[in-house]
Amino acid sequence: MIKLIDFKREHAQQMVTSIMNTPQTSIDEKYHELLNGLEVPNMSFTATHNDKIICAGGMIPVWDNVFEGWVMGSDLIWKFRIASAKIIKKNMEELIVKNNVQRLQTAVKKDFSLGHRFAKWCGLKEEGLMRKYQNNEDYIRFARVM
């Protein structure tokens, strides 16, 4: 059974140092400390199975009613891929309503097509290419405007 718990910064650190789901979503070590900012009370969650992290997601306020959405998956996400996708989408929808979100945006690596499909499935639309956004790599900006 999948259990939802409050996201803690340690969950992100554990994922990036040992259990990320794919090299395409890896995060350069020099940015690991920035992941501590993902722990925003009542705006993030972690899905677990037998006390092991499957995935986590949430939103970070940018400014009035604009939020940056994020999702991280562990290597267990493949075992629970459909349930994980539904959990992430459902919880993001609840966070959108709860926080009166008018714009939810995220960035996905240009060559991560599965991430593009997931963002679109969650109702975000492609807005454009962000050249050399992180680590000299190109990303695509996706957003959903309510």
DSSP 122-133: TT-EEEEEEEEE
Per-10-residue mean pLDDT of the chain, 146 residues long, equals: 92 75 61 79 94 94 96 89 94 95 96 95 97 92 97
- Helices 113-121 and 81-98: angle between axes, nearest 10 degrees: 50
What share of the chain in percent tops pLDDT 90?
68
CA angle 49/21/129 to nearest 5° reads 130
pLDDT at residue number 32? 66
Say if CB 72 and CB 57 are below 8 A apart. yes
The domains found in the chain, sorted by start residue, are 2-145 (3.40.630.30)
pTM: 0.88
pLDDT at residue number 19? 58
Say if CB 25 and CB 73 are below 8 A apart. yes
